[in-house]
Structure 1
Amino acid sequence: MKTRYAPNIRNAVIGTLVAGGLVAGFLVFGPGAGGPPPASGPAARAMLAVGAGAPASPDDLSALVVDRERWLRARPADEASWAVLGSAYVELGTLVGEWSYYPRAETALKRSLEELPAAKGNADAQLGMAALANARRDYATAKRWGEKVRARTPKRWTAYPVLIDAYNGLGDYKAAGKAAERLQALRPGAAPTLARAAQMYAGRGRSEDAAATAHEAMTRARTAAERAAARFRLGELAWGRGEPAEAVGHYDTALRTDAGHHPSLAGRARALAALGRKDEAMRDYTAALEKRPLPEYALEAGELYESLGLDGDARTQYQVVPTRAAKAQGQGVNVELVLGRYEADHGDAHSAVRRLTMEWERGHRSLEVADALGWALYRAGRAGEGLTYAKRATEPNMRNPLFSYHRGEIERARGLDGPARRHLAEALRINPYFSPLLAPRARAALEKLGEPAAGGPEDVWGEAEPLELTRVEPESDAEPESESESGSGGRGRAGEDEEPTTGPSESATSESDRSRSSGSESDRSRSGLPGSDSDSSSSSSDSGRSEPSPSVPRPSDQTPSDQGPSDQTPSDQTPSGE
């Protein structure tokens, strides 16, 4: 079976934000950039750390910012120092959750490019612009900047971390995997490189390799910030395996090393809640929000409060989500994914569909967006369309309990009891504690489904691989696009290219899909026939009537052409192997 490249996904709410390259410390300049290095002290430590691709502490980064600002007041034509300053602003803003640093970063980086244009080799400023675009979740722009540098200097290792983040954000996991392999070749054995490798292994379902590589990265960590990040990564891997007690131990160690490491605070809160230590979990969420008031943290805290029946406290946290998201948007940060998730479960599901459809159409086709869009469609009463995206998010070797839970609930609404039973059980098997709010719902849903009747048909758990079915496409006057033009490359598994191709339509049916699941589709599910979990809501055989074709763009549609040229294989989502 072919394996698909994917980022290390621990929880779709937080996603890649706290586990991505910026928090891991990948700034884009090397030692000596920007004039003479700072004198010994915090600024020098920051310069040395980030020059090696390692994390730097917020205090050291602040000192570096002050040092370069002072330097540039006397030497305003120093393009390298402008690039250092801009990149440090990006990292500092990400670490402390102060998005107002991003416009300052953009100003500094553009000034560097004015002093030395990109065409004349200003790679540091270009990679700073790529890091800024990733921080704002503008992955197409990050990809363009990173690929320009790679095309000019393919052996420059600092180009590859920003490209990995950009490709992951666009859902181009094959390109991300190739970039990670190239980084390993250029920087073998470095702790940050090993950390990236651990993420790749975890995303491919190779948990033992991920843990071993993450441990090796920890042994090679040199600074306190780097050791804290390494311990956090081990905690995330333990949490992903459904081992909250071990995860708490790693988060504790990370916080003893760096008391302000807010990703570890949020991670420990999640694990403590799983262990039944609710008061401590709420304490840690409060501390994480004080360190960095991310809308993602507020959403998680709200769901914990809701699971405890503290509806008033839950509402207070939920109200923080759009408020903080609006502040981020004001600084150019894309928060559509977290807002889509929030609105799907706690607001207007139809608004969530609109937001997430726009994300998909702009080329942000990660597994997180596929899952969120599928769930929003289901919550808006369009489970048939939602199943298309839920399938995309739960490809083989993609182990994420939230995604499996979402798919199982969508299948249950469609009357596909066998596949629903399989995916709900899978969610709890991956991590029985994956959400204080949703894990109990998964157990309740399994109980309602019950065990299959004795002597029933085979494959009641939906385990069999579907047959490859050929679909006759309707005739169209439009010329078919070649694969090389599409920007999304190869297809997924059989049946994945059966999705609709048109844009979103508010006129699409929104009545209960459960009532439409009677008839031939439900019969197929009970009989265990291959394809029983396919999206058949657009078929005229459903309840003996025809319906309008679903109108959300299909997951395999092309990535917009404005993402720029690439010398990678164009976004082929199904690589030939590991």
Structure 2
Amino acid sequence: MENQQEGPVRRESGSKRRVRVRPVLIASVAGCAVLGGVLVLLPRERSAEPVPPSSGALAMEAISSGVPAALPGLTELIEERRQAVRTRPKDATSWAVLGAAYVERGRRLADPAYYPRAEKALRMSLSVRPGRNTRALEGLAALSNARRDFPAARRWSEAALKLEPRRWTTYPLLIDAYTGLGEYTAAKRTLDRLTGLRSGPAVLARAAAVYRDRGWREDAAASLADAAAGARAPAEQAAYLERAGQLAFERGDLDVALRHFREAVRLDPDQFAARAGQGRALAALGRTTEALNAYRAALAGQPCPQYALELGELYESLGMPEAARVRYGLLRERVRRAAAGGADEELVLGRFEADHGDPKAAVRRLRAEWKRQPATEVADALGWALYRAGEPEEALRFALTATDTERGGGVLDAASMYHRGMIERELNRHGAARRHLAKALRINPHFSPLHAPAARTATEALGEPPDEGVPEMNGEAG
């Protein structure tokens, strides 16, 4: 570039040429390099560093790709889209993105107050563009899943796929809806369609959830490991590690679970589910002070009713009933707030009532839940509530449903095995009770600070199976 500028200088008189060229040469010798015998008069300008995307842009990319978004990015994205719809009220895409961002923020913070705002934005998007508006339909499906309204989630997902059958981001929403409805075969079939369309971390994570629900824990763990390794953003990787921690805890690998939960929190300090997971694992390891602190941190950022129940039961196991009652009160308050936001927390409330409140009320709630969305976790909770309410015969029917691998579920976690074993013990089916209680403790000896000790006590009370010997063969049979 500088050589091109020398042409006019050489056409001037010699004295002028010397005056103008010499300073350039002096500066060049002092500050530039000589490469291959060629004097570089001036350094080349460096190309500008690419500007990193804003946190709002990253959140937008995450939402569009069906992966978890970071909370700061969601805050920025919401503000951007609110401004957009104020200036362009007919912008259907901005309304849909705003609604989806509200859903994700409400889910991450366990704050159902965001859900009515999300619904308003998504329905506004549909009113502005009532035709081919798949993005808004997906948002309504995600909202319904977050509210645990799985029949509605299925309807919205199916409507979106009718418009765009090859839009892969709709399939995970439909899988969640089928799972919540107990339609595990349909969930697996939908996963097969998804994997035929798309690969990558988000698909691997969804596959892991289906594998886990069918009892294929090793496959689920492998898929989550691959998803975490391939994740592009810290919040996404942290979400997959949190799920890997859940899997490890379910099978009793406490150190592995704790390692996954800690790494998730390191990557994303707002990963409150992982903080609750830390509390769960630390309590099982006997590190109760650390466990209490982890649960408190989780509840401070994401006051989820399930975390309140777990922390209350931990306090109860430590002989601190007053502290437990405070957390149970928080649980009831959060369930009321969820109902105000159109969300369904009947399952966790039914579990709470069965063990710490009114078992008959738990039965009423869970019967209605079972009628509406009959997943195996609802069958397990209803069976346990019936047992606690003094109806073990009917309880066993639901416990068998919850642990029936032929139905397409097959999670077979320690809690459901414990529930079945205790119901069978009440019905004097001692052999089956002994077998299922032992299986619960074999899957995870520390599955609950309250119920794992009860399972050990019941197993010891049942004793060893009777030694009946080998039946003798009579002469005719010989």
- The two structures share one fold, judged by TM-score above 0.5: yes
- For each residue in 1:288-341, what CA deviation from the matched residue of structure 2 results, as whole angstroms up to 9, or x when unmatched? 110111111110001111111111211221121111111111111111111110
- Cα contact 2:110–2:302 (8 A) shared by 1: yes
> What is the CA–CA distance in structure 2 between the aligned matches of 1:235 and 1:398, rounded to whole Å?
16
- For each residue in 1:417-462, what CA deviation from the matched residue of structure 2 results, as whole angstroms up to 9, or x when unmatched? 011111101100111110111001000000111112222689xxxx
> What is the CA–CA distance in structure 1 between the aligned matches of 2:177 and 2:320, rounded to whole Å?
39
* Equivalent residue, structure 1, for 2:456: 443
Paired letter, 1:171: G
Task: Report which of the two has the higher share of helix.
Answer: 2
Q: CA deviation at 1:200?
A: 2.0
Q: CA deviation at 1:202?
A: 2.4
> What is the CA–CA distance in structure 1 between the aligned matches of 2:329 and 2:160, rounded to whole Å?
42
- Assess, with a 3 A threshold, how the Cα gap between structure 1 residues 77 and 457 changes in structure 2: closer, same or farther: farther
- Assess, with a 3 A threshold, how the Cα gap between structure 1 residues 151 and 443 changes in structure 2: closer, same or farther: same
What SS does the aligned partner of 1:171 have?
Answer: coil
* Equivalent residue, structure 1, for 2:231: 221
- Whether 1:249 and 2:259 are equivalent positions in the alignment is yes
Structure 1's consecutive aligned runs of 4 or more residues displaced over 3 angstroms after TM superposition are: none
- Whether 1:371 and 2:380 are equivalent positions in the alignment is yes
Q: TM-score, length-normalised on structure 1? A: 0.71
- Cα contact 2:261–2:275 (8 A) shared by 1: yes
* Equivalent residue, structure 2, for 1:153: 164
Query: Among 356, 365, 390, which residue is 1:355 paired with?
Result: 365
Paired letter, 1:366: A
Query: Among 429, 435, 441, which residue is 1:428 paired with?
Result: 441
- For each residue in 1:528-572, what CA deviation from the matched residue of structure 2 results, as whole angstroms up to 9, or x when unmatched? xxxxxxxxxxxxxxxxxxxxxxxxxxxxxxxxxxxxxxxxxxxxx
Unaligned runs of 5+ in 1: 1-38, 459-578
* Equivalent residue, structure 1, for 2:136: 125
Give runs of aligned pairs for residues 249-398 of structure 1, distance below 5 A: 249-362=259-372, 364-396=373-405, 397-398=410-411
* Equivalent residue, structure 2, for 1:549: none
* Equivalent residue, structure 1, for 2:29: none
- For each residue in 1:472-529, what CA deviation from the matched residue of structure 2 results, as whole angstroms up to 9, or x when unmatched? xxxxxxxxxxxxxxxxxxxxxxxxxxxxxxxxxxxxxxxxxxxxxxxxxxxxxxxxxx
> What is the CA–CA distance in structure 2 between the aligned matches of 1:434 and 1:390, rounded to whole Å?
18
Q: CA deviation at 1:197?
A: 1.4
What SS does the aligned partner of 1:432 have?
Answer: coil
* Equivalent residue, structure 1, for 2:147: 136
- Whether 1:191 and 2:201 are equivalent positions in the alignment is yes
> What is the CA–CA distance in structure 1 between the aligned matches of 2:306 and 2:104, rounded to whole Å?
19
Paired letter, 2:191: A
Q: CA deviation at 1:383?
A: 0.6
Count of aligned residue pairs for this structure pair: 416
Q: CA deviation at 1:183?
A: 1.5
* Equivalent residue, structure 2, for 1:30: none
- For each residue in 1:208-265, what CA deviation from the matched residue of structure 2 results, as whole angstroms up to 9, or x when unmatched? 2222221111110110101111221221221122011111111111111111210100
> What is the CA–CA distance in structure 1 between the aligned matches of 2:344 and 2:217, rounded to whole Å?
31
Paired letter, 2:376: L
- For each residue in 1:5-25, what CA deviation from the matched residue of structure 2 results, as whole angstroms up to 9, or x when unmatched? xxxxxxxxxxxxxxxxxxxxx
- Cα contact 2:212–2:411 (8 A) shared by 1: no
* Equivalent residue, structure 2, for 1:400: 413
What SS does the aligned partner of 1:107 have?
Answer: helix
Unaligned runs of 5+ in 2: 1-51, 472-478
* Equivalent residue, structure 2, for 1:413: 426
- For each residue in 1:133-171, what CA deviation from the matched residue of structure 2 results, as whole angstroms up to 9, or x when unmatched? 111111101111111111232111121111111111111
Paired letter, 1:315: R
- Cα contact 2:109–2:303 (8 A) shared by 1: no
- Whether 1:163 and 2:163 are equivalent positions in the alignment is no
Paired letter, 2:402: A
- For each residue in 1:10-62, what CA deviation from the matched residue of structure 2 results, as whole angstroms up to 9, or x when unmatched? xxxxxxxxxxxxxxxxxxxxxxxxxxxxx941111111222222211011011
- Assess, with a 3 A threshold, how the Cα gap between structure 1 residues 80 and 57 changes in structure 2: closer, same or farther: same
Q: CA deviation at 1:71?
A: 1.0
Paired letter, 2:195: Q
Paired letter, 2:382: L
Query: Among 69, 72, 82, which residue is 1:59 paired with?
Result: 72
> What is the CA–CA distance in structure 1 between the aligned matches of 2:191 and 2:133, rounded to whole Å?
23
Paired letter, 2:329: Q
> What is the CA–CA distance in structure 1 between the aligned matches of 2:231 and 2:93, rounded to whole Å?
28
- For each residue in 1:322-373, what CA deviation from the matched residue of structure 2 results, as whole angstroms up to 9, or x when unmatched? 11111111111111111110101111111001001111112x1111100010
CA RMSD of aligned residues (A): 1.4
Query: Among 151, 169, 173, which residue is 2:184 paired with?
Result: 173
RCO higher in 1 or 2 (8 Å CA, sep ≥ 6)? 1
- Assess, with a 3 A threshold, how the Cα gap between structure 1 residues 56 and 457 changes in structure 2: closer, same or farther: farther
Q: TM-score, length-normalised on structure 2? A: 0.85
Paired letter, 1:66: E
> What is the CA–CA distance in structure 2 between the aligned matches of 1:398 and 1:103, rounded to whole Å?
33
> What is the CA–CA distance in structure 2 between the aligned matches of 1:271 and 1:432, rounded to whole Å?
12
> What is the CA–CA distance in structure 2 between the aligned matches of 1:290 and 1:329, rounded to whole Å?
20
Greater C-alpha Rg: 2
> What is the CA–CA distance in structure 2 between the aligned matches of 1:336 and 1:212, rounded to whole Å?
33
> What is the CA–CA distance in structure 1 between the aligned matches of 2:469 and 2:374, rounded to whole Å?
39
- Cα contact 2:224–2:243 (8 A) shared by 1: yes
Query: Among 452, 455, 464, which residue is 2:468 paired with?
Result: 455
> What is the CA–CA distance in structure 1 between the aligned matches of 2:368 and 2:470, rounded to whole Å?
42
> What is the CA–CA distance in structure 1 between the aligned matches of 2:469 and 2:297, rounded to whole Å?
52
Q: Percent identity?
A: 51
Paired letter, 2:361: S
